[in-house]
Structure 1
Amino acid sequence: MYHAVVGVDDNEERAVACARAVADLPGAETGARVTIIHSFTDDPSGASAAEIDSVREATVYLEERGIEVDVTGSSGDPAERILDVASAADADLIVAAGRKRSPTGKALFGSVTQSVILNADRPVMVVGDTDG
Structure 2
Amino acid sequence: MYQIVMAVDENESRALAEAETVLGLPRDPSDLHVTILHDFTNNPAGASVTQVASVRRARDRLEEAGVEVDLAESSGDPAEAILETADGLDADLIVLATRKRSPTGKAIFGSVTQTVILDTSRPVLVCRDPDE
For this structure pair, what is the TM-score category when the shorter chain's length is used for normalisation?
over 0.9
How far apart, CA to CA, are the structure 2 residues paired with 1:30 and 1:60?
15
Query: Identity percentage over the alignment?
Result: 58
Shift of the alpha carbon at 1:131? 4.0
> Deviations along 1:74-117, whole A, 9 cap, x unmatched?
00100000000000000000000112211110011111111111
Unaligned runs of 5+ in 1: none
2:86 aligned residue:
86
TM-score (norm 2): 0.96
Q: Judge conservation of contact 2:93–2:124 (CA < 8 Å) in 1.
A: yes
Q: Judge conservation of contact 1:99–1:131 (CA < 8 Å) in 2.
A: no
1:95 aligned residue:
95
How far apart, CA to CA, are the structure 2 residues paired with 1:26 and 1:49?
28
Q: Judge conservation of contact 2:30–2:68 (CA < 8 Å) in 1.
A: no
Matched residue SS, 1:73: strand
RMSD (CA atoms)? 1.0
Unaligned runs of 5+ in 2: none
2:115 aligned residue:
115
Aligned 1:28-107 pairs, distance under 5 A:
28-107=28-107
How far apart, CA to CA, are the structure 1 residues paired with 2:74 and 2:106?
24
Aligned 1:8-23 pairs, distance under 5 A:
8-23=8-23
How far apart, CA to CA, are the structure 1 residues paired with 2:46 and 2:129?
30
Q: Judge conservation of contact 1:39–1:78 (CA < 8 Å) in 2.
A: yes
2:5 aligned residue:
5
How far apart, CA to CA, are the structure 1 residues paired with 2:76 and 2:4?
21
Matched letter for residue 127 of structure 1: C
TM-score (norm 1): 0.96
